[in-house]
């Protein structure tokens, strides 16, 4: 009898001949995360489930917590592995029933019998296991329609597993299974959520932060590093690039109409981000815009922003309202960091009366007053980056 953690796969089970590729990426991610927990662990994959076993020194609490950040896992179950016979299963239920019930007053048993050679069918297994629980634990009753806990008995090829139904995993696809993208990461609420959402689809995410010293502070920079670390908890690693746009902002302020400040700056950011993306072999840019949320995120504004780049721009928050984005930010642990009172370069550069219906011709005409290529090259020349594990 041994404690185990079971990772139930999500949409990966729908993959065909390339399923092993996705599985290998997920297992690699699990192995890397388990290095953060004490003890030694072994992994065993079978029937769309990854079983994690630890030695006598293994910190199973830490391991279980870490598994909540593995993309590709739909459900995480912490349970008991025992011999594949009813005597062993009943013994495990008696000894560990409190763990499975978790204080619940109502329960039901569910049996999954993938080994059809097992002498009892699923209904018989449930009946015998339910009887054992009722006999050995006071104050509980069976409720097959709406139980507080679902005690699951899985009869597999080499062993039986018992658990209390499990907890929702991170879902999505394994990190690295769908290429790489570059996130334009500000200190706000939206862009970290956008990065997380794209990473959840199996995309490696690196990031670029546009700073504006001395108008943006070191505290603002540290805030963005903290946000990148939060994303990195799910992706395993992230390269964070830093680019100063102070000279670009000054040139725009000196030569262009105030109502175009934000749009012109964003066009510079997109051009710079695309060059970094090309260099690091990223196939797309990611931004946190939600359509209509602010003046620079109207459909017309987004059009003139995208027109200066030739690669896809992913905006996973585009159809979410602010409350929905905040809810997601809270769930991934970025909201409190994003709420720290340090401005980014865009918030410091917002015109009083921005143009909400810009045209491409209007922006092109304004850019004729600027040394666009020179400003970009000098900004990139001063670029730095760090690797966050």
Element (H, E) at 248: helix 246-255
The string of pLDDT tens digits covering residues 298-349 is: 999 999 999 999 999 999 999 999 999 999 999 999 999 999 886 665 565 6
Lowest mean per-residue pLDDT among 114-118, 180-184, 276-280, 321-325: 114-118
Query: What is the chain's mean pLDDT, rounded?
Result: 94
180-388: same fold as 2-168?
Answer: no
**pLDDT confidence of residue 294:** 84
pLDDT of residue 192: 97
pLDDT at position 64 is 97
Structure-token pair, residue 262? 């934000």
**Is this structure's pTM higher than 0.85?**
yes
- Residues whose CB is less than 8 angstroms from the CB of residue 154 and which lie 6 or more positions away in sequence, other chains included: 111, 112, 114, 160, 161, 162, 163
9 pairs with which residues across the strands?
A: 73
Q: What is the CA radius of gyration of the chain?
A: 26
Residue 63 has, within 13 A of its CA and on its CB side, a CA count of: 26
What pLDDT score was predicted for residue 87?
Answer: 96
Say how far apart CA 70 and CA 76 lie, in whole Å. Answer: 10
Q: What percent of the chain has pLDDT over 70?
A: 98
Q: Per-domain residue ranges for the chain?
A: 2-168, 180-388
**Does the pLDDT of residue 254 top 70, yes or no?**
yes
| Assigned CATH topology for domain 180-388 | Rossmann fold (3.40.50)
* pLDDT (tens digit per residue) in 280-291: 999 999 999 999
CA distances from 4 to 42, 142, 278, 356 (A): 10, 26, 43, 56
Statement: residue 352 has pLDDT above 80 = no
- pLDDT above 90 (res 121): yes
CATH classification of 2-168, choosing from 3.40.640.10, 3.30.2130.30, 3.40.50.1100, 3.30.1950.10?
3.30.2130.30
Across residues 198-224, what is the average pLDDT?
Answer: 94
Share of the chain above pLDDT 90, in %: 84
Cα–Cα nearest to 68, from 327, 333, 316: 333
Flag whether pLDDT at 210 surpasses 60. yes
The token duo for 289 is 């815009």
Q: CB atoms < 10 A from the CB of 28, how many?
A: 14
Q: Is the four-CA dihedral 226, 231, 235, 238 of positive or negative sign?
A: negative
Specify the pLDDT at position 215.
85
Phi, psi of 387 (to 5 degrees): -105, 125
């Amino acid at each position: 009898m041994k404690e185990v953690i079971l990772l139930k796969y999500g949409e990966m089970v729908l993959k065909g001949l390339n399923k092993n590729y996705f599985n290998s990426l997920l297992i690699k991610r699990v192995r890397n995360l388990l290095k953060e927990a004490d003890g030694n662990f072994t992994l065993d994959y079978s029937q769309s489930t990854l079983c994690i076993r630890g030695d006598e020194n293994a910190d199973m609490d830490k391991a279980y917590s870490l598994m909540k950040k593995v993309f590709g896992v739909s459900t995480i179950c912490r349970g008991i592995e025992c011999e594949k016979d009813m005597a062993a299963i009943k013994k495990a239920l008696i000894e560990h029933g409190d763990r499975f019930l978790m204080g619940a007053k109502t329960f039901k048993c569910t049996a999954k019998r993938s080994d059809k050679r097992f002498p009892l069918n699923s209904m018989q297994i449930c009946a015998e296991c339910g009887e054992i629980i009722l006999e050995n634990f006071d104050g509980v009753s069976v409720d097959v329609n709406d139980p507080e806990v679902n005690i699951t008995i899985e009869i597999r090829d080499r062993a039986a597993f018992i658990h209390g139904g499990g907890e929702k995993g991170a879902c999505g696809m394994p990190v690295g299974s769908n290429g790489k993208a570059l996130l334009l990461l500000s200190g706000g609420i939206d862009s970290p959520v956008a990065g997380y959402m794209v990473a959840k689809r199996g995309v490696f995410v690196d990031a670029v932060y546009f700073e504006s010293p001395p108008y943006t502070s070191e505290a603002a920079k540290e805030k963005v590093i903290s946000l990148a670390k939060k994303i990195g908890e799910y992706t395993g690693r992230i390269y964070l690039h830093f680019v100063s746009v102070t000279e670009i902002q000054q040139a725009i302020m000196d030569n262009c109409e105030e109502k175009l400040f934000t749009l012109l700056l964003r066009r510079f950011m997109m051009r710079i981000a695309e060059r970094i993306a090309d260099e690091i072999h990223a196939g797309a840019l990611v931004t946190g815009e939600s359509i209509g949320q602010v003046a620079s995120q109207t459909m017309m504004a987004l059009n003139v922003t995208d027109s200066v780049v030739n690669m896809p721009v992913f905006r996973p928050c585009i159809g979410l309202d602010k409350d929905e984005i905040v809810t997601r930010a809270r769930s991934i642990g970025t909201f409190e960091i994003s709420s720290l009172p340090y401005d980014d370069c865009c918030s410091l550069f917002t015109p009083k009366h921005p143009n909400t219906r810009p045209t491409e011709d209007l922006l092109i005409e304004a850019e004729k007053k600027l040394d666009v290529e020179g400003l970009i090259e000098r900004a990139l020349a001063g670029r730095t980056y760090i690797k966050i594990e």
